[in-house]
Amino acid sequence: MNIKTIYLVKDLARATGYSVYTVEYYLKIGLIHEFGRGPDTGYRYFDERAVTKLAKIRVLRKEGKTIKELLKRFSAVKY
């Protein structure tokens, strides 16, 4: 049985070392995407793909890439 870890925004922030504000900003501008929402709560759901993508974003930002460059790089990739 394969059990997926599901993250809410605050869990994703905690798992990646980003602030909740940064995770929400990256979501708003389209760098990351939720895979679903709670029907009753409206909470956004993320999985390990978001964790992996945020790790890649961190590396690229440390290399000096701008948000604009990241948007261009990831525009064709929606996990």
31 touches 71 (CB < 8 A): yes
Are the beta carbons of 46 and 34 closer than 8 angstroms?
yes
Is-contact 44 27, C-beta < 8 A?
yes
Q: What pLDDT digit, counting tens, does each position of 17-60 carry? A: 999 999 999 999 999 999 999 999 999 999 999 999 999 999 99
Pick the CATH number of 9-74 from 1.10.1660.10, 3.20.20.70, 1.10.1140.10, 1.10.40.30: 1.10.1660.10
Q: What pLDDT, on the 0 to 100 scale, is given for residue 75?
A: 80
